[in-house]
Chains A and B, each alone.
Chain A
Amino acid sequence: MPAHDVLIIGAGLAGQRAALAAAQDGASVAIMSKVHPVRSHSVAAAGGINAAISVDDDWRSHAYDTVKGSDFLGDQDAIEIMCSEAPGEVMNLEHMGVTFHRNDRGEMDLRAFGGASMKRTAYVADITGQALLHVLYEQLMKHHETVERFEEWFTTSLLTDEAGNCAGVIARDIRTGALEVFTAKNVILACGGAGQAYRPTTNGLIVTGDGISMAYRVGAPLMDMEMVQYHPTCLVETGMLITEGARGEGAHLLNANGERFMEKSAPNKMELASRDVVSRAEQIEINEGRGVGPDGRGIYLDITVVPRKRTLEALREIVNLGRDFAGVDITREPIMIRPGQHYIMGGVKTDVDGRTPIDGLYAAGEVACVSVHGGNRLGANSLLDTLIFGRRAGEHAAARAAAMGPPKIDAGAQLKRDADELEAIIARPREGGRRVSEIKNELGDTMNKHAAVFRDEEGLNSALETIHRLREESGKAWIDDRGTVFNQDVLGAVELGFMIDCAETTVVAAIERKESRGAQYRTDFPERNDEEWLKHIDLTLKDGEPEVSYSEVTFTQWQPEVRKY
């Protein structure tokens, strides 16, 4: 039975950074992921990472932009930590080997990004997430003696001891089907968001809300789950992401009349307003009949205004994406895009050291809600979030481990419970049930219809009803694969359960918040209401249902003001 000081679930940027930090501080560390680490979805982050490294910049300016971007729902103590530690972290990454783009003087170059008051986004072409992820993995290979890797292991549940503290996980070796107990003094969840609860989404097929759901099931509160980011530039048909870097480099958004419609809603920042603002503006154009394309479902993103050489050098990935997935040469013609599900600001509630209210359980990255993003995340702040809070969680967990003895836990009963559940799914008869994939698709369509850019009570209630039905159905859903080696089918059924938890809490929180703030826009409550709703919504599992409570937003230097771009 493997036992570690710090066990990290998820090997994207947050997880790998946490592992390196905890190992550096002398803890025995294991990192576990259901995929090989470089397949983690951090790889898809394109545009860059924010840090006030320019001599003209100040981290307070970055922090203010982040607070404003969050529509004042972000916790300012956490935002101050993230933004003030950003320059040091980015330099650390540079020293580790990240091939950041340089300017003519050989210093790190910076590009413009949405919602930022100046250029502060460091980047590697438009593969920044990939470059960061692969360089961190280089470090894991380097430190293979101090960081044990469990690649292609699927975590089925968190272990808690009699006092309710987290003491490890149960996980299945995907290659062999063996189910094992991993005990740990601390578990850090770093397994990303829940984009697959939506269809379409920019997120990979692996992004199924595992960590959020597992934490929720052992009693950890979820926070700000209603805040779901729709990215303004996704391919109309497949929902694939076109980086915000395109607009950062100067690309325009045009409606069917060829107008740069952003001047109506963001006359100063135009295309570089924050994402919630741009996505809403696009959706209004589409809804009011000024969309482009065969059935007016899209908006034109015109990258031809960016010098061609610059596009080929700095936006190469989307040149390929346009060519291969939309048949468009973006250096010559505009490409059709629309808003699409991209990120969840909410997640497992943590403090600034990644601690959840459950002792021994930490969370960092998209799975967590510290909250630095509040109602809306700024582009290029997510990579930063993963690294800063991944590191802090790793450091804190290592320190905690040093001061405690090994957890005392008899995991036999829980191991048997999980094993029985998996066996039961595999053995389910086809009669009277639906396929897992059908239920998943209906869930995704429902969320994308009712819990999207614009929401109202009626739609949300109908979504909740559907989700309850799908939860019933998921208990009878059947699969084909009866094997043990790489039985992805049975894991898909487990993931469906995770996604239903995420969808349910998202919709419940969206119904609860009767105002419009950040990514939550209620057509039946179109105004921001600071008097009643300048607070976080927390959801805790009680008797199978999410129980609502509230928590304060932390303010330090910036009071709420009218948000204009």
Chain B
Amino acid sequence: MAEIHDRPPEQFTLRLRRFNPESGEAPYWDEHTVELEPHRSVLEGILQARDKYDGSIGIRCSCRQAICGSCGIRVNGEPSLACHTHLDAAKASAKDGVIEIEPMGNMPVLKDLIVDMDAVHWKKIQRVTPWLLAKQPVPEREYIVPKDSMVDVTQTMACIQCGACVSDCLAMEVDPGFIGPAALAKAYRFVGDPRDAEQYERLNDLSEDPQGIFDCTHCFKCVEACPKDVNPMGQIMRLRRIASADQEIVDQNNGVRHEHAFSTLVKDNGLLWEAELLPRSYGGDSWFGKFAPAAGKELLSSLPAILKALIRGKVTPMGALKPHKLAKADLQSVQAIYEKIESREERYELNLYIAGEDEAPEPSEQPAPTPASETTVASSPPDSGTGQAEETNHEEAEPVGPGSENETPEGSDS
């Protein structure tokens, strides 16, 4: 057994961001040294400081085991649950050996580590019609649905609403109106639920909203932040795929067109041809797209940005006119990925709950590997109708990683 229990207590210094709204003063830093076993959590450290030195330290907390979702904070600048972060790991990632603890971002601070989740997080949850719109007629007993579809939505059901993903969502930082990772993951919980009657309406709503699914910039911050492996960005991408591929929704924001243009450019050239992206996103997914009126209008309105980029040397006229050159073998490798994925009869979807086989792979050298990273398994989405899980082991050459996309190498920064 990994005898982590045997390690003696050590000293840890916590640097807490404090804010007292009644004092009229600015936020400040407050340091306390606590003594605990190194595998104890940052929350236990904060509670020891509160119990022993200063009872006025404000933090929401209850379960201490990453299930109630109360104690979302930032540790050394990264969002996480206080109870889900070990003191030794936090100390190791600290700049100067002092563990820096701050309230979450993107939400107003009420006191110390307590933020106003109602004003941001819960408002956004309410935005996605967060309840089942059940298919009628309601059966006498349970709805009969594929086993894997329920396991599939369990991944988003596992969200504990801690707000860690909201805290550091880059898109929300720029556009506070973005519905955001937690609420969109919640939306997938209904879109992916075969008992819900309004898949199309939900997806149409989230596609047409300029701050909906196409507002995500694909930065992976939420995937890293989530303590429960909900993979919010992955759920957003699944919403996009179901919206465009299955429901054939073409949104007014050009989100789908943008993705198609992105994908086609990479397929044709092996790399993105940036100058072509905008006209094609607006004018249509071909070289002629730039002559469409919509593209012309968009190009015109983007002129100041284009000029600025030219002046700063970010683009050159030649670079804009010609795609990047890639060695032929490399281009073929890229295109082989497209062929392989496009030839599949069903779309693979990553799901961390259907994760693994009875034969365990050998333990890796890495400490405490997550089950999800040992084996990843793709299951067909519930909307494909078969409900059959198809499993792959990571040792096969599937380009799959936690939170990665394995359908099309799309990447939208709309």
Interface residues of A (CB under 8 A from B): 35-36, 38-41, 43-44, 53, 91, 94-97, 99-109, 124-125, 127, 130-131, 134-135, 138-139, 141-142, 151, 175, 204-206, 236-238, 240-241, 293-294, 307-310, 312-313, 316-317, 319-321, 323-329, 331-334, 336, 435-438, 441, 479-489, 492
CB of B110 closer than 8 Å to a CB of A? yes
Q: With a CB–CB cut-off of 8 A, which chain A residues contact B55?
A: 435-437, 479-481, 489, 492
B132 in contact with A97 (CB, 8 Å): yes
Count: A-B pairs, CB below 8 Å: 214
Interface residue? B343 (CB, 8 A)? no
Whether A483 pairs with B62 at a CB distance below 8 angstroms is: no
Nearest-neighbour CB distance to chain B for A561, whole angstroms, equals 34
24 intermolecular pairs with C-beta atoms under 8 Å apart: A36-B117, A38-B160, A41-B63, A53-B141, A91-B141, A101-B150, A101-B154, A125-B154, A125-B353, A131-B154, A134-B157, A134-B161, A141-B131, A204-B63, A236-B5, A294-B5, A319-B371, A321-B66, A481-B56, A483-B20, A484-B22, A485-B111, A486-B114, A489-B56
Asked if A309 and B356 make an inter-chain contact with CB atoms under 8 angstroms apart, the answer reads yes
Chain A residue contacts of B66, Cβ below 8 A? 320-321, 324
* Those of B349-402 within 8 Å (CB) of chain A: 353-360, 363, 368, 370-371
How many residues belonging to B are interface residues under a CB distance threshold of 8 Å?
78
Bound: A365/B227 CA distance, A: 29
Q: Find chain B residues with CB under 8 A from A125 CB.
A: 151, 154, 158, 353
B24-60 contact mask (Cβ, 8 Å, vs A): 1 or 0:
0000000000000001010000000011101110101
- Contacts A106-B146, A138-B130, A316-B353; A328 near B67 (Cβ below 8 A): no
CB distance from A495 to the nearest CB of B (A): 12
In the complex, whether B215 has a CB less than 8 A from a CB of chain A is no
Task: Tell which of B6, B130, B370 touches A294, judged by Cβ atoms closer than 8 Å.
Answer: B6
Is the CB–CB distance between B110 and A483 below 8 Å?
Answer: no
> B residues within 8 Å of A by Cβ?
1-6, 20-22, 39, 41, 50-52, 54-56, 58, 60-70, 84, 86, 110-112, 114, 117-118, 125-126, 130-132, 134, 138-147, 149-151, 153-154, 157-158, 160-161, 189-190, 193, 195, 353-360, 363, 368, 370-371
A328-B2 in contact (CB<8A): yes
In the assembled complex, the Cα of A327 lies from the Cα of B360 at a distance in Å of: 18
State A125–B354 Cα separation when bound (angstroms): 11
Question: Please, which residues of chain A bring their CB within 8 A of the CB of B363?
Answer: 329, 332
Complex alpha-carbon distance, A206 and B64, angstroms: 11
Task: Pick the most buried of B64, B65, B118: most chain A CB atoms within 10 A of its CB.
Answer: B65
A97-B195 contact, Cβ under 8 Å, with A107-B144, A485-B21:
yes
Tell me if B54 and A435 are in contact (CB < 8 A).
Answer: no
Query: With the chains together, A321 CA to B83 CA distance in Å?
Result: 11
Contact partners of B114 in chain A: CB under 8 A? 486
Interface centre among B1, B147, B354, B357 (most CB of A within 10 A): B1
CB distance A99 to B68 under 8 Å? no
Q: Beyond A102-B145, A204-B64, A328-B1, is A488–B58 a contact (Cβ under 8 Å)?
A: yes
